[in-house]
């Protein structure tokens, strides 16, 4: 039996002011990186994590931003196959985004996908005066294998994030497994810690019970207030909302099956209101 091919050849053509440049890129094939849809967050996954956020070498993930002092501002918890990261990367080219995924194969896929996509852009023209990073797409996105339920504060500093995403999380239908849901009172304290005032939590699911669970828990937490989709769009977050709804594998599957999605967003407030 022949060796399986884990990647496919894709030709990307980009034009500069002088001539067209063609880059031959190798993209991984998702079908070779499949794992179970979800993983038990309480299992021992032999994970590596820094003792503190300042101990992590972010330049390994974002080499184009080395020396800038930039840290990830968006975090996609349980990023899956990276659809949201890839959709948002060109919308915020100077904002670092981090995917956190516990599954080995899926994390490997996202890492290889990003590596391949970083090769698609031609070098900047000599007369260009814009920052060099803007000529290198997807330099601002990266993924780490991590259990965010246990180790989020090991990677993210206080008030570091402006956006935190929970897209189609494991519903854990059985009542005895609700403690494993990614939204809980205890975990919300950590999310409030890493989100800066004004930062936004985005949640979406196709399970109405889970949607109601997340809304109830976040609304009851004193450091978050719900914000409507219309309000976020008026504030200029329409591109993010669209990506949340449509960019993930799970979201596309729901659309193919003509299912329903429930979106809820929440803003981190500066202090507890009396």
| Cβ-contact 7, 114 below 8 angstroms | no
Map residue 131 onto helix, strand or coil. coil
- 148 appears as a binding residue in the annotation: yes
The tally of CA atoms less than 13 A away on the side-chain side of residue 78 is 23
- 167 appears as a binding residue in the annotation: yes
- 218 appears as a binding residue in the annotation: no
- 220 appears as a binding residue in the annotation: no
- 54 appears as a binding residue in the annotation: no
- 40 appears as a binding residue in the annotation: no
Q: Which residue in the block uniquely carries the two structure tokens 């450091």?
A: 223
Number of other residues whose CB lies within 10 A of the CB of residue 143 = 24
- Give the separation between CA 235 and CA 246, rounded to whole angstroms: 20
Alpha carbon of residue 175 to chain centroid: 28
Catalytic choice (12, 19, 76, 170): 170
- Give the separation between CA 15 and CA 245, rounded to whole angstroms: 31
- 78 appears as a binding residue in the annotation: yes
- Give the separation between CA 265 and CA 258, rounded to whole angstroms: 23
- 61 appears as a binding residue in the annotation: no
- 235 appears as a binding residue in the annotation: no
242 is a catalytic site residue: no
> Per the annotation, where are the binding residues?
78, 101-102, 147-148, 167, 248-250
Q: Which residues are catalytic?
A: 170
> Per the annotation, where are the binding residues for S-adenosyl-L-methionine?
78, 101-102, 147-148, 167, 248-250
């Amino acid at each position: 039996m022949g060796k399986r091919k884990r990647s496919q050849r894709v030709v990307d053509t980009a034009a500069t002011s002088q001539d067209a440049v063609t880059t031959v890129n190798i993209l991984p094939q998702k079908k070779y990186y499949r794992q179970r849809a979800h993983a038990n967050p309480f299992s021992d996954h032999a994970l590596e994590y820094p003792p503190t956020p300042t101990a992590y070498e972010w330049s390994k993930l974002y080499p184009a931003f080395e020396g800038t002092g930039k840290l990830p501002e968006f975090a996609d918890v349980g990023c899956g196959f990276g659809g949201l990261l890839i959709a948002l990367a060109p919308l915020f080219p100077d904002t670092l985004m981090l995917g956190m995924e516990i599954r080995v194969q899926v994390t490997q896929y996202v890492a290889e996908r990003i590596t391949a996509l970083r090769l698609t852009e031609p070098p900047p023209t000599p007369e260009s005066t814009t920052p060099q990073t803007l000529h290198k797409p997807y330099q601002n996105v990266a993924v780490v294998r991590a259990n965010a339920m246990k180790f989020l504060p090991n990677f993210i500093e206080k008030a570091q994030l402006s956006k935190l995403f929970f897209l189609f999380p494991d519903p854990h239908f059985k009542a005895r497994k609700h403690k494993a849901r990614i939204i809980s009172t205890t975990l919300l304290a950590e999310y409030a810690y890493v989100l800066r005032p004004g930062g936004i939590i985005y949640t979406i699911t196709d399970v109405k019970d889970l949607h109601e669970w997340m809304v109830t828990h976040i609304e009851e937490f004193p450091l978050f207030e719900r914000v409507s989709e219309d309000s976020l769009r008026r504030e200029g977050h329409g591109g993010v909302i669209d990506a949340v709804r449509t960019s993930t594998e799970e979201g596309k599957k729901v659309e193919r099956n003509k299912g329903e999605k429930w979106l809820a967003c929440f803003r981190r407030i500066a202090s507890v209101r009396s």
